[in-house]
Structure 1
Amino acid sequence: MSSEEFAPPKYAQIVQAIRQRIADGTYPPGSLLPSETQLVREFNVSRPTVVRALQVLQLRGTIEREHGKGSFVKAAPPVSEEQNTRPGRAVLDRAEVDENGSPIDAGTVPAPAHVAKLLGLSEQSPVMRRRVLFRESERPIDLVTIWCPAEVAEGTDLGDDEALAVGVRQHLQSAKGIKLQHVAERLSARHPSADEAKLLGLRKTAPVLGVLASVFNGGGRPVLIVDLVLPGDLHELEDAYSL
């Protein structure tokens, strides 16, 4: 078994390389990063891979991206909760078309007991379920399932079988005027279900990280449940906080 099987996905390698260059002063605060085209050539990857790496750096507060100008290194700010890396928040801001996301299924189904409880609904109430598999160089790297009350999903594209061009958070705000305010996450280390193992190409005994996130609107009502499954050999979660 080669070490390449356990190498991080390519976008994560780009993130690591850029962060190292920022740390060693190659890219000082305020400097302009190489263009997406230059990064594609340097790392020999696709443009969506570079875009995802830059999105991760932006979400971590490492860079600022300005349309038509490029990506700039930010000065190191004091650590705040808003700048911490949160898996649920990252999922809400991912544009499926830019990150090789393929919808597996999308449609109205009866709410499972645990989803109904988290959404404050009666069991078997109609909910929109959207499942999307993300790949890196054709290898599955994570599986996202989004659950949403049927009346909230009505008038949105969450039930479409086409990849979304913008993140779920932006789409809900533009389509329904729903502003997502905060997320409560629960992280678990476990084995995949039979269905998850099949979709992610994993052994049934392989370790995965499961992130179950409840997403609330401004009125404190849960409007989304995000179930994120991450193969344990491909992902690590990072956080930073003040003491």
Structure 2
Amino acid sequence: MVVMSSEEFAPPKYAQIVQTIRQKIADGTYPPGSLLPSETQLVREFKVSRPTVVRALQVLQLRGVIEREHGKGSFVKAAPPGASNQNSRPGRAVLDRVEADENCAVIEAGTLAATGAVANLLDVPEGSTVMRRRVLFRDGERPTDLLTVWCPAHQAEGTDLGETGPLTAGIREHLWASKGVKLQHVVERLNARHPSADEAKLMEVRRTTPVLGVLASVFNGGGRPVLVVDLVLPGDLHELEDSYSL
């Protein structure tokens, strides 16, 4: 019989940091709105490398636990009661990200003809004009995620989705403020795959590097699709996790 040590079952170091920070948020050490220790301080506290700390903070951000502002730091998010499970969803989290507060670049923003797959998800005829917005987020020296958003052209009219500058509000808030469109329901699909040639080039990874793909269809209160969101995450930087009561 092979006896395995407890270390072989221990979670990765970044996951241990995530767990510790969440515990400190829960016990009030880091109250809502407070500034977390800097990356340098966390490196010293946990005796790990900076990429490990960065990865832990990215996981917390994707789960909606913290907000990261470029040049300012990471802040504990003030979540309303009962919203913790919802905020852990990456599809929801990306809709609330503020591009202007992060280190990102708008790769593309403009109209094009919808392919069959996108048209089907948006429930519009194939070849219809849609708006596509692609944003590459970075942290330090490497890309951390690639976000692509599609929406029908008429839905994008009167918004800044087609502008090449970073949005100063999350997509969900921006659509409500500019169009009165309320996003209420998300159908999210997750898969592990290899990146396309274009994705690999933008993400600065090999074609054989595993990535996590999050494809989300976002609906309004009437049940009509408003957006399709495609989020690509390098597998070596991200791990998606959820927790719930039995």
Summarize the Cα distance change of 1:41–1:86 in structure 2 as closer, same or farther, 3 Å threshold.
same
Q: How do 1:161-180 and structure 2 match up within 5 A?
A: 161-180=164-183
CA distance in 2, matches of 1:57, 1:185: 14
CA distance in 1, matches of 2:156, 2:33: 39
2:38 is aligned to 39
SS of 1:59 mapped into structure 2: coil
> 1:138 Cα shift?
2.7
1:59 is aligned to 64
Does residue 20 (structure 1) correspond to residue 25 (structure 2)? The answer is no
Say if 1:103 and 1:132, in contact at 8 Å, map to a contact too: yes
Does residue 159 (structure 1) correspond to residue 158 (structure 2)? The answer is no
Letter in 1 for 2:244: Y
Q: Which of 141, 144, 159 is matched with 1:141 structurally?
A: 144
Letter in 2 for 1:185: E
TM-score by length of 1: 0.76
2:111 is aligned to 108
RMSD over aligned Cα, in angstroms?
3.5
Say if 1:197 and 1:203, in contact at 8 Å, map to a contact too: yes
- Number of residue equivalences: 217
1:185 is aligned to 188
Summarize the Cα distance change of 1:232–1:159 in structure 2 as closer, same or farther, 3 Å threshold.
same
CA distance in 2, matches of 1:203, 1:54: 22
1:4 is aligned to none
Say if 1:191 and 1:208, in contact at 8 Å, map to a contact too: yes
Q: How do 1:223-242 and structure 2 match up within 5 A?
A: 223-242=226-245
Letter in 2 for 1:59: G
Say if 1:30 and 1:72, in contact at 8 Å, map to a contact too: no
Q: Which runs of 5+ in 1 are unaligned?
A: 1-7, 64-69
SS of 1:163 mapped into structure 2: coil
Letter in 1 for 2:112: V
Report Cα offsets for 1:190-215 as digits up to 9, x if no partner.
11000000000111111111111000
Letter in 1 for 2:140: S
Letter in 2 for 1:42: Q
> 1:230 Cα shift?
0.7
Identity %: 55
Does residue 82 (structure 1) correspond to residue 86 (structure 2)? The answer is yes
> 1:16 Cα shift?
5.7
TM-score by length of 2: 0.75
Say if 1:29 and 1:74, in contact at 8 Å, map to a contact too: no
